[in-house]
Amino acid sequence: MSPVFAFNKWPRALGAVSKLSVAVSAATLLLACGGQGDGSISANSGAEVVLKAGEAAVIVGSLESVKYRLTNMTWSVMPLVATNPDLTLLNEDCEVAIKNDSLTPTLATSTSPAGSGGSDWQCKLVVGLKDNVSTDALYDLTLSGMNELNRQVTYKRTLRVQPNPTLFGFEPSLAVPNNFVIQPVSSVCKPGFSVALNAVSTDATAKSVFYRWRIVQGPTVFLAGANTSQLGFITPLVSESTVMVVQLETSQTAFTDDTPVANSATSVIHVDPTYLSPSCFSN
């Protein structure tokens, strides 16, 4: 299944993007491939990954199989309490990943057969929660891979989503049917790449509307067509993984400072300096 990151209604107020860049080698569950393997998941609070409600963040994970090459790698997020809200994920199937495979076979030993040489793979996950929480919500965040012998290597951390006191939602009395979506809803792009987003009506009878695009998380960039049905911009020249959340608002009346939030949709762009494809990977 392709990764999907779709926030249909994200509030106006969003926290700053979380920087998850410090790898912590705390004790975690690690099942080694053929008895030889390693892994890591970036953390920003001791051994935990901490995220504020209403934010999106990049989490970096890696798996190493010393003797046998990896054949796949995936992320999973499981709530530790059944009532925890669902998180939204981008690149959970690691369709965008750095895959380094050894070309030197490893020799057989008295306890294991010869191997193809091993692998060292890295995959970045974008995770977020559009709604607020009243208390901390805990999840198991797991990066799993399978090797040529169909043995699994798994690395796990705790993901903690904290309440965000600056986050507020829509007034129900002001809301209107959500008749517009953004295409694409999520993308992975390299820095300095041209991005085009389109407002697409889901209601064939929808009347003419006014459009307003804005960046609600991430670096500020020049927005071409910020008051039209198509938005264009150039991804910022960043040196580290950066999440951008673009919000579209539509109304049947011209926008002013007093115009209430009406129809709203969002698109998430992960600007990744390690992503070298000439085109964005989009959903």
Q: Is 50 exposed, middle or buried (0-12, 13-18, 19+ CB in 10 A)?
A: middle
What is the per-residue pLDDT for 260? Answer: 61
State percent of the chain over pLDDT 90.
36
What is the per-residue pLDDT for 208? Answer: 65
Summarize pLDDT for 34-88 with one digit per residue, the tens. Answer: 446 678 888 887 789 998 887 888 899 999 988 889 999 999 999 999 999 988 8
For residue 157, list its beta bridge partners. 141
Does a cis peptide bond (omega within 30 degrees of 0) precede residue 85? no
pLDDT, average across residues 85-93: 88
Please say whether the beta carbons of 65 and 37 come within 8 A: yes
CATH 2.60.40.10-classified regions of the chain: 22-162, 172-282
Q: Is the pLDDT of residue 266 over 90?
A: no
Q: Output the average pLDDT for the chain.
A: 79
Summarize pLDDT for 216-243 with one digit per residue, the tens. Answer: 889 999 999 999 999 999 999 999 889 9
Q: What radius of gyration, in Å, describes the C-alpha atoms of the chain?
A: 21
pLDDT, average across residues 243-271: 80
Please say whether the beta carbons of 10 and 216 come within 8 A: yes
How far apart, in whole angstroms, are the C-alpha atoms of residue 41 and residue 142? 9
Please say whether the beta carbons of 116 and 70 come within 8 A: no
What is the per-residue pLDDT for 5? Answer: 33
Q: What are phi and psi of 95, to 5 degrees?
A: -65, -25
Q: Is the pLDDT of residue 3 over 90?
A: no
Q: Which of 44-48, 63-67, 132-136, 181-185 has the lowest mean pLDDT?
A: 44-48
Q: What is the CATH number of domain 22-162?
A: 2.60.40.10
For residue 192 the two structure tokens come to 């300095």
Q: What angle do CA 204, 198, 6 make, to 5 degrees?
A: 90
For residue 273 the two structure tokens come to 């300096």
How far apart, in whole angstroms, are the C-alpha atoms of residue 88 and residue 186? 11
What is the per-residue pLDDT for 43? Answer: 80
pTM: 0.69
Please say whether the beta carbons of 7 and 128 come within 8 A: yes
CATH T-level topology, domain 172-282:
Immunoglobulin-like (2.60.40)
What is the per-residue pLDDT for 261? Answer: 59
Banded pLDDT at 110 (limits 50, 70, 90): confident
